[in-house]
Each structure stands twice: as C-alpha cells, then as structure tokens.
C-alpha cells in the first residue's frame, strides 16, 4: 500500500474558522506559474477580475468575461495544492437575477474546480448570496469600494469618510454575512469602519486598502511584486520590484543578440558523439 497521502487544500469552511484564530493571508493569481509560487505560503488565492487590468491592459474590470475567468481559474487550479481558490464572477454575469448568478457560478465551479466564487455588492446582493449558498455555492462577499461599479461611482476612491458612506458599508457587510457568505473582502475603506465591521460580524473580513483592522489581507500579486506599473495605489507595499529586473535582463539579451554573443556554444545543439 502506498504511504502517499494526497494533500488536502484549505476549504471555504476552514477559512471561515480562522476568524479570531490567525490572520488570513491572501493574494491574487491568474496563471499557473504564479499560482505555484504563491500557493505554499498563502491561505487563499483569488482569481480576481483585476486580471483584465493587470494582464490585458483594460482600464477597468467592466469588460472582463466569464470565459476569461474560467480560463484563468483553470490555469491557477493547475498550480495549487494547498490554498483555497476563489474565482470572481465578472460584471454582468450575476446582477440580473439569482438564477443567472447560480448558472454562472456553477459553470465556474464545474469548469475550474475552484472552491467558491466572489461577487461584489451588499444589501442589494444578499438575496442572491443566500440563494447560492443554500444551493451549494460558497460565496466570498466584496463591499466598500466595488471596482465593477466604477461607471456609477465615477472613480476608484476610498469610502467611509462620511457617516452616510460608513453606514452604507456597515449595512452591506452585515447583510452579506447574514446571507451566508463564508468571508468578505472590504476594499478601500477607512480604518474605523473596517474595525467596526470586523468586530460585528462572525465571518472573516479580508482587507485591501482597509487598514490592519481586518481578519486578513489581500493584495493584487502583480502590485506587491512591482510587476504592474500603470499605477500603484497608496495602500500597496511593493515587497519586490521585479519590473527593473525584467528590463535589464531584456536589455542584456538584446545587446548580446545584436553583438552576436548569444547563443554561445553552451546553448547550441551539436551532433552527439557515440
Ligand atoms: O479583482 C480582484 O483582484 C479582487 C481582489 C483584489 C479582492 O477583487
């Protein structure tokens, strides 16, 4: 009998149980190689619709499609053995009705093998969240700054500065938690509001630009690696700066090619001697 025990990935239930026990470390990933590098260290990986901006050069996430999310979800799942993986439902694939949300969430779960889906929205999405959870689809909520709402909001700006904004975010978070989400992203929100929400709901809060007062944190991996240079939000810390390394490697390659110095003998095939 083989002594090999297949490794179990973290589930949405285990992420939920981490509230109050240990901080939850999350990153985004869109490709197999990045997922392989991130997976041994993170609790949860989000295949975010930020893929549209980060990999496709889109100006926001509005035009990201279900097909893109499925393809990148499959790519990430090929590189993961440890982390819980959540795939974003993109804009327009869940807002119309709870039935539309179920159909598209099911498609992502079945095509990618991921553990659950993430969708943006508060009170207005609570019925949909309850519908999905009651039918076997784990939901990761997302409140505060909601990038898919950019055309209504007018910009990506932090929220919770006025009492009415703060009240709306608190009500949104409570209704998402009560609807049965296993955890919730709080994006671009002032510390006091993130702290109040974290202390008042029984599911983990995962902050992005929402202060340390959350149960965990998420960053876009390309931001924290210094790979995405279009803009760097104030809340991002670059834990590495990969872009200059890529530029200097490319410069060196091009100058060696131009000078006839690459490939060398070492990188060239020659007939084998028997
Ligand atoms: O799209 C995304 O990458 C996200 C995470 C940063 C939470 O929504």
Torsional sign, CA 161, 165, 166, 172: negative
- Kindly report the number of other CB atoms within 10 A of residue 18's CB atom: 17
Q: How confident is the model at residue 191 (pLDDT cuts 50, 70, 90)?
A: very high
- N- to C-terminal Cα separation, the chain: 42
Angle at which helix 66-77 crosses helix 98-112, to 10 degrees, equals 30
Atom of ligand 1 nearest to the CA of 88: 1
Distances (CA, A) of 50 to 53, 62, 88, 265: 5, 10, 9, 43
Of residues 260 and 230, which shows the higher confidence score?
Answer: 260
Tell me, in angstroms, the distance from the centre of ligand 1 to residue 263's CA.
Answer: 41
- Sorting pLDDT into bands at 50, 70 and 90, what band is 6? low
For the ranges 2-16, 108-122, 127-141, 234-248, the lowest mean pLDDT is seen at 2-16
Q: Of all residues in the chain, what percent carry a pLDDT higher than 90? A: 92
| pLDDT for res 272 | 87
Secondary structure (3-state) at 72 = helix
What is the tens place of the pLDDT at every residue in 217-229?
999 999 999 998 7
* pLDDT tens column, 99-115: 999 999 999 999 999 99
pLDDT of residue 18: 98
Write down the pLDDT at residue 7.
72
Q: What is the pLDDT of residues 32-52, one digit of tens each?
A: 999 999 999 999 999 999 999
CB count within 10 Å of CB 158 equals: 17
Q: Is it true that the peptide bond before 154 is cis, omega within 30 degrees of 0?
A: no
- pLDDT value at residue 122: 98
Tell me which residue of 142, 85, 80 sits closest to 109, measured CA to CA.
85
Give the pLDDT score at 1.
Answer: 52
Domain segments of the chain as ranges: 12-241
Rounded distance from Cα 131 to ligand 1 centre (Å): 23
Parallel, antiparallel, or unpaired for β 116-118 and 44-47?
unpaired
Q: Is it the case that residue 274 has pLDDT exceeding 80? A: no
Q: What is the pTM of this model?
A: 0.95
Domain 12-241, CATH homologous superfamily name and number: Phosphoenolpyruvate-binding domains (3.20.20.60)
Tokens linked to 248 = 């200097």
Closest C-alpha among 198, 210, 206 to residue 234 = 210
| 247 CA → ligand 1 middle, Å | 27
Long-range contacts of 196-201 (CB under 8 A, 24+ apart): 196/170, 197/169, 197/170, 197/173, 200/170, 200/173, 200/174, 201/173, 201/174, 201/177
122 touches 174 (CB < 8 A): no
Distance CA 51, CA 100 (A): 22
Residue-level pLDDT at 5: 67
Mutate-to-test residue for ligand 1 from 43, 46, 63, 91, highest number of ligand atoms within 8 A of CB: 46
């Amino acid at each position: 009998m083989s002594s090999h025990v297949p490794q179990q990935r973290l589930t949405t239930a285990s992420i939920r149980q981490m509230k109050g026990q240990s901080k939850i470390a999350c990153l985004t990933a869109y490709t197999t190689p990045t997922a392989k590098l991130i997976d041994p260290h993170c609790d949860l990986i989000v295949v975010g619709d930020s893929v549209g901006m980060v990999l496709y050069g889109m100006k926001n996430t509005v035009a990201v499609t279900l097909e893109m999310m499925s393809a990148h979800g499959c790519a990430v799942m090929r590189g993961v053995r440890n982390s819980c993986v959540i795939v974003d439902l993109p804009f327009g694939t869940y807002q119309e009705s709870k039935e539309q949300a179920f159909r598209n969430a099911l498609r992502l779960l079945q095509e990618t093998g991921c553990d659950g889906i993430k969708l943006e929205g508060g009170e207005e999405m609570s019925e949909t969240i309850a519908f999905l959870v009651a039918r076997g689809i784990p939901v990761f909520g997302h409140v505060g700054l909601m990038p898919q709402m950019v055309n209504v909001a007018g910009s990506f700006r932090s929220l919770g500065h006025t009492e009415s904004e703060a009240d709306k975010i608190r009500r949104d978070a409570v209704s998402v938690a009560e609807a049965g989400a296993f955890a919730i992203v709080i994006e671009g929100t002032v510390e006091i509001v993130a702290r109040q929400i974290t202390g008042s709901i029984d599911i983990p809060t995962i902050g992005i630009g929402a202060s340390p007062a959350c149960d965990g944190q998420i960053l876009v991996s390309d931001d924290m690696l210094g790979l995405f240079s279009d803009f760097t939000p104030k809340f991002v810390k670059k834990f590495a700066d990969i872009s200059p390394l890529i530029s200097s490697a490319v410069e060196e390659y091009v100058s060696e090619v131009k000078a006839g110095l690459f490939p060398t003998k070492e990188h060239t095939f020659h007939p084998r001697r028997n």
